[in-house]
A and B are shown apart, each in its own frame.
Chain A
Amino acid sequence: MMEAVLGSTAIARAESPGLWVLAWRRFCRDRLGLVAFVVVVFFFGLMVASGLGLIAADWSKEVGVSDAPPAFIGPQTPPARPAAAPAAAADSSREGKSEPAVIDPLANELSDIRHQKGAGATDTAIVDPLADVLAEIRRESGAASAAETRAPTLVFGGDKWGRDVLKKAIKGTETSMFVGLAAATLAAFIGTVFGALAGYYGRWIDDFFNWFYSIFTSIPYLLLILAIAGVLNQKGTTTVILILGLTGWTGIFRLVRAEYLKHKVREYIQAADAIGASHMRRMFVHILPNVSHVVLVQLSLHVVLFIKSEVVLSFLGFGVGVDTVSWGSMLNEAQNELILGKWWQLAAATIAMATLVTAFSLFTDALRDALDPRLK
Chain B
Amino acid sequence: MIALASDEVLVGIRNLRVDFRIDKTEIFEAVKGISFDIPVNSTVALVGESGSGKSVTALAILGLLPKENSRVHPDGRVLYREHNLLELAPGAMQKLRGRDISMIFQEPMSSLNPVFTVGFQLGEVLTRHLALTGSQARARAIELLREVGIPEPEQKIDAYPFQLSGGQQQRVMIAMAIACEPKLLIADEPTTALDVTIQKQILDLLADLQQRHRMSVLFITHDLAVVGDIADYVIVMREGEIREQGGVQQIFEAPRDAYTKALLLCRPQLARRPRRLPVIDDFLKPTPLELQDIPERSRGLSGDEPIVLEVRHLSKSFYSRVGLFGKREFKAVKDVSFKLAKGKTLGLVGESGSGKTTVGLTMMRLHHESSGEVLFEGKDLLAMPPQEVMRYKRRIQIIFQNPYSSLNPRFTVGQILMEPMQIHRIGTSEQQRRDMTYELFEKVGLPDASFFKYPHEFSGGQRQRIAIARCLTMKPDVLICDESVSALDVSVQAQVLNLLQDLQDEYHMSYIFISHDLAVVKYMADQVMVMNEGEIVEIADSDEIYLNPRHPYTKKLLSSIPQGWHSAKATT
Residues of A within 8 A of B (CB): 1-2, 4-11, 13, 16, 18-19, 29, 266-268, 270-277, 281, 286, 289-290
Nearest opposing residue in chain A for B69, CB measure: A6
> Taking the complex as formed, is B210 at the interface, i.e. its CB lies under 8 A from any CB of chain A?
no
Query: What are some 12 contacts across the A-B interface (CB < 8 A)?
Result: A6-B28, A7-B456, A8-B459, A18-B412, A19-B410, A267-B402, A271-B470, A272-B419, A275-B397, A275-B419, A290-B409, A290-B410
Contact of B457 among A1, A16, A276 (CB under 8 A): A16
Q: How far is the CA of A233 from the CA of B55 in the complex (A)?
A: 67
A284 CB to closest chain B CB (Å) equals 12
Extra 7 A-B pairs, beta carbons < 8 Å, given A268-B408, A275-B470: A5-B20, A6-B22, A11-B456, A19-B410, A276-B423, A276-B424, A281-B423
* B22→A9 contact, CB < 8 A: yes
Given contacts A270-B361, A276-B420, A290-B409, contact A5 B456 (CB under 8 A): no
Given contacts A9-B20, A275-B419, A276-B420, contact A268 B407 (CB under 8 A): yes
A210 CB to closest chain B CB (Å) equals 17
Write out the residue numbers on chain B whose beta carbons fall within 8 Å of the beta carbon of A276.
Answer: 390, 393-394, 420, 423-424
Most buried by A among B59, B188, B398, B458: B398
* B423→A1 contact, CB < 8 A: no
* A275→B420 contact, CB < 8 A: yes
Given contacts A5-B20, A268-B405, contact A274 B410 (CB under 8 A): no
B381 CB to closest chain A CB (Å) equals 13
Write out the residue numbers on chain B whose beta carbons fall within 8 Å of the beta carbon of A4.
Answer: 50-51
Q: How far is the CA of A4 from the CA of B402 in the complex (A)?
A: 14
Q: Give per-residue flags for B443-465: 1 if the beta carbon is below 8 A from chain A beta carbons, else 0.
A: 00000000001101111000000
| Nearest 3 Cβ contacts at the A-B interface | A289-B410, A267-B406, A275-B420
Write out the residue numbers on chain A whose beta carbons fall within 8 Å of the beta carbon of B458.
Answer: 11
Q: How far is the CA of A281 from the CA of B409 in the complex (A)?
A: 16
* B457→A272 contact, CB < 8 A: no
A53 CB to closest chain B CB (Å) equals 40
Q: How far is the CA of A270 from the CA of B365 in the complex (A)?
A: 10
B1 CB to closest chain A CB (Å) equals 25
Would you list which residues of chain B between 26 and 75 have a CB under 8 Å from chain A?
26, 28, 30, 50-51, 53, 55-56, 59, 66, 69
Write out the residue numbers on chain B whose beta carbons fall within 8 Å of the beta carbon of A266.
Answer: 405
> Taking the complex as formed, is B375 at the interface, i.e. its CB lies under 8 A from any CB of chain A?
no
Write out the residue numbers on chain A whose beta carbons fall within 8 Å of the beta carbon of B470.
Answer: 271, 275
Nearest opposing residue in chain A for B106, CB measure: A1
Most buried by B among A4, A7, A271: A271
A273 CB to closest chain B CB (Å) equals 6
A14 CB to closest chain B CB (Å) equals 10
> Taking the complex as formed, is B307 at the interface, i.e. its CB lies under 8 A from any CB of chain A?
no
Question: How many Cβ-Cβ contacts under 8 Å join chain A to chain B?
Answer: 99
Write out the residue numbers on chain A whose beta carbons fall within 8 Å of the beta carbon of B409.
Answer: 19, 268, 290
B22 CB to closest chain A CB (Å) equals 6
Interface SS of chain B: helix, strand, loop or mixed? loop
Q: How far is the CA of A270 from the CA of B393 in the complex (A)?
A: 13
Q: How far is the CA of A266 from the CA of B408 in the complex (A)?
A: 10
Write out the residue numbers on chain A whose beta carbons fall within 8 Å of the beta carbon of B366.
Answer: 270, 273-274
Write out the residue numbers on chain B whose beta carbons fall within 8 Å of the beta carbon of A268.
Answer: 405-409
Write out the residue numbers on chain A whose beta carbons fall within 8 Å of the beta carbon of B419.
Answer: 272, 275, 277
Q: How far is the CA of A286 from the CA of B456 in the complex (A)?
A: 16
B31 CB to closest chain A CB (Å) equals 10
B394 CB to closest chain A CB (Å) equals 7
Write out the residue numbers on chain A whose beta carbons fall within 8 Å of the beta carbon of B412.
Answer: 18
Nearest opposing residue in chain A for B402, CB measure: A267
> Taking the complex as formed, is B270 at the interface, i.e. its CB lies under 8 A from any CB of chain A?
no
Q: How far is the CA of A313 from the CA of B457 in the complex (A)?
A: 49
* B22→A275 contact, CB < 8 A: no
B502 CB to closest chain A CB (Å) equals 22
Nearest opposing residue in chain B for A269, CB measure: B408
B294 CB to closest chain A CB (Å) equals 30
* A267→B456 contact, CB < 8 A: no
> Taking the complex as formed, is B467 at the interface, i.e. its CB lies under 8 A from any CB of chain A?
yes
B450 CB to closest chain A CB (Å) equals 12
* B405→A267 contact, CB < 8 A: yes
Q: How far is the CA of A345 from the CA of B500 in the complex (A)?
A: 74
Write out the residue numbers on chain B whose beta carbons fall within 8 Å of the beta carbon of A1.
Answer: 55-56, 59, 188
Q: How far is the CA of A87 from the CA of B188 in the complex (A)?
A: 94
Contact of B20 among A6, A270, A275, A286 (CB under 8 A): A6
Nearest opposing residue in chain B for A268, CB measure: B408
A182 CB to closest chain B CB (Å) equals 27
A6 CB to closest chain B CB (Å) equals 6
A89 CB to closest chain B CB (Å) equals 73
Q: Give per-residue flags for B392-418: 1 if the beta carbon is below 8 A from chain A beta carbons, else 0.
A: 011001101110011111101000000
Write out the residue numbers on chain A whose beta carbons fall within 8 Å of the beta carbon of B20.
Answer: 5-6, 9
Write out the residue numbers on chain B whose beta carbons fall within 8 Å of the beta carbon of A8.
Answer: 50-51, 459
Contact of A11 among B364, B397, B402, B459 (CB under 8 A): B459
Write out the residue numbers on chain A whose beta carbons fall within 8 Å of the beta carbon of B188.
Answer: 1
Contact of B454 among A5, A18, A270 (CB under 8 A): A18
Write out the residue numbers on chain B whose beta carbons fall within 8 Å of the beta carbon of A289.
Answer: 408, 410
> Taking the complex as formed, is B79 at the interface, i.e. its CB lies under 8 A from any CB of chain A?
no
Write out the residue numbers on chain B whose beta carbons fall within 8 Å of the beta carbon of A271.
Answer: 398, 400, 406-407, 467, 470
Q: How far is the CA of A276 from the CA of B474 in the complex (A)?
A: 11
Write out the residue numbers on chain A whose beta carbons fall within 8 Å of the beta carbon of B28.
Answer: 5-6, 9
* A274→B398 contact, CB < 8 A: yes
A175 CB to closest chain B CB (Å) equals 36
Would you list which residues of chain B between 319 and 367 have a CB under 8 Å from chain A?
361, 364, 366
Write out the residue numbers on chain B whose beta carbons fall within 8 Å of the beta carbon of A274.
Answer: 364, 366, 393, 397-398
B209 CB to closest chain A CB (Å) equals 24
* B423→A5 contact, CB < 8 A: no
B490 CB to closest chain A CB (Å) equals 16
Q: Give per-residue flags for B175-197: 1 if the beta carbon is below 8 A from chain A beta carbons, else 0.
A: 00000000000001000000000
Write out the residue numbers on chain A whose beta carbons fall within 8 Å of the beta carbon of B51.
Answer: 4-5, 8-9
Write out the residue numbers on chain A whose beta carbons fall within 8 Å of the beta carbon of B50.
Answer: 4, 8
Write out the residue numbers on chain B whose beta carbons fall within 8 Å of the beta carbon of A6.
Answer: 20, 22, 28, 69
Write out the residue numbers on chain A whose beta carbons fall within 8 Å of the beta carbon of B423.
Answer: 275-277, 281
Write out the residue numbers on chain A whose beta carbons fall within 8 Å of the beta carbon of B59.
Answer: 1-2
Q: How far is the CA of A19 from the CA of B394 in the complex (A)?
A: 30
* B456→A270 contact, CB < 8 A: no
A335 CB to closest chain B CB (Å) equals 50
A29 CB to closest chain B CB (Å) equals 8
Write out the residue numbers on chain A whose beta carbons fall within 8 Å of the beta carbon of B66.
Answer: 2
Write out the residue numbers on chain B whose beta carbons fall within 8 Å of the beta carbon of A19.
Answer: 409-410, 454, 456
Write out the residue numbers on chain A whose beta carbons fall within 8 Å of the beta carbon of B364.
Answer: 274
B200 CB to closest chain A CB (Å) equals 24
A285 CB to closest chain B CB (Å) equals 9
Nearest opposing residue in chain A for B455, CB measure: A268
Would you list which residues of chain B between 408 and 441 have a CB under 8 Å from chain A?
408-410, 412, 419-420, 423-424
Contact of B400 among A11, A270, A275 (CB under 8 A): A270
Write out the residue numbers on chain B whose beta carbons fall within 8 Å of the beta carbon of A11.
Answer: 456-459
B493 CB to closest chain A CB (Å) equals 16
Q: How far is the CA of A274 from the CA of B479 in the complex (A)?
A: 11
Q: How far is the CA of A18 from the CA of B412 in the complex (A)?
A: 8
Write out the residue numbers on chain A whose beta carbons fall within 8 Å of the beta carbon of B56.
Answer: 1-2, 5
Nearest opposing residue in chain B for A25, CB measure: B23
Write out the residue numbers on chain B whose beta carbons fall within 8 Å of the beta carbon of A270.
Answer: 361, 366, 398, 400, 406
Q: How far is the CA of A276 from the CA of B420 in the complex (A)?
A: 7
Most buried by B among A2, A4, A11, A275: A275
B511 CB to closest chain A CB (Å) equals 15
